[in-house]
Amino acid sequence: MAEPLKHLLNSAVPPHIAAMLHAAWSGFDRAAFLADIAPGYEALELMQRGRRIADAMHRRLPAAYPEAVAILVASMGPAMGLDAAGEPVASGSGHSAFVYLPHSLFIAGHGLAHFEASMHAQHALTQRFTAEFSIRPYLEHHAQATLNRLMAWTDDPSAHVRRLASEGSRPRLPWAPRLRPFMQDPRPLLPLLERLKDDPSSYVRRSVANHLNDIGKDHPGILTGIARQWLVDAPEPRQRLVRHALRFAVKRGDADALAALGMGHAVALDVRQVAITPAQPRIGTAVTIAFDLHNPKAATQQVLADLRVHYVKAGGGTGAKVFKLKTVALPGGSTHRLSKRLSLAQMTTRVHYPGAHRLELMLNGQAHALGQFDLRPEL
């Protein structure tokens, strides 16, 4: 079983932060800082622990925010490294990067009146943890100034900083308050993404794809319009970015998204040799769905195949989830077998219930009945 998230800020973290702050400022009262944090700390969850530490920072650092945040920055350890693909590498400090979660909360909660000092701090923070959460209040209260700074950071030597320009401004960033003005009108964000679409770091490009996916949930036409533009003479990394950005639109069967990928046309394929095994699996086991796709035509047919499972819900209704299978170019007269193994174990993200689970094959967004399996209770 995975450890609770709160252990990312376990009891060893406050003394470690205290030592960091004291090294940066000899006037820091470590004993008082730890005494502020200690009462009931073990019972607190992750964000509560982060806020408890941030509040203690606020009490024990200098009252003037620019001086306090300068000490925070000076106390920080080395920046995270990057591998050859531009992916982050752990610092090797012995502590999770979440040691900087309180720093993020301190900047978000106390720095809005000190824009330059906070931007400097977030530039440093995002190279060690992330500033994607702490930047958001600044996008709300200093929108244009923050967008200007993010635009400047799209040319930063650090991929961590360039990624922040995209990730921090995502309208629907998970675990963060939504940026509702940009959900309504994402156009001010598009120049950031344009500058980053061919970034040398896969870490940055993946953020751009996720940002576009966020935009597509509220403005599908903007997403598919950008996808079409970016796919013109696109290098392979940008093609992968666009496919990743369109992944949920494709799963929804969005015709414009499929068309942007060259999959907007209907296909004439035969589905043969369907096998659903076992036909009556039990909760906690697995089921495998396999079938042949046969092209009866003389010409090659290009198809994007997905599997849609209609899961039984607690109240007896169903809810659909789409699983990506494969993009296949089927020459005339050829046959290709596809299969998918579905885990039926109980998870925090999906609870299984007994009953008939209908299966559909999605071919270029068009649904074709595939059969069903009858899920039985766990033994």
What are the pLDDT tens digits along the chain (379 aa)?
A: 457 889 999 999 999 999 999 999 999 999 999 999 999 999 999 999 999 999 999 999 999 999 999 999 999 999 988 887 778 886 655 678 999 999 999 999 999 999 999 999 999 999 999 999 999 999 999 999 999 999 999 999 999 999 999 999 999 999 999 999 999 999 999 999 999 999 999 999 999 999 999 999 999 999 999 999 999 999 999 999 999 999 989 888 888 998 998 888 888 999 999 999 999 999 999 999 999 999 999 999 999 999 999 999 999 999 999 999 998 999 999 999 999 999 999 998 899 999 999 999 999 988 999 999 999 999 8
Fold (topology level) of 270-375:
Immunoglobulin-like (2.60.40)
Q: How far apart are CA 281 and CA 297, in angstroms?
A: 36
* Contact indicator for 337, 283 with CB cutoff of 8 Å: no
Name the E strands within the chain.
81-82, 88-89, 270-277, 286-294, 301-312, 318-330, 335-343, 355-363, 366-375
The label of the residue with tokens 């392979």 reads: 236
**Domain ranges in the chain?**
1-134, 270-375
Per-residue b or e along 197-226, where b marks 16 or more CB atoms closer than 10 Å to that residue's CB: bebebbbbbbbbbbbbbbbbebbbebbbeb
| Two structure tokens written together for 337 | 């077998």
| Separation of alpha carbons 80 and 315, rounded Å | 47
Degrees, nearest 5: CA angle 61-57-37: 135
Paired tokens of 11: 């009891």
Q: How many CB atoms lie within 10 A of CB 65?
A: 20
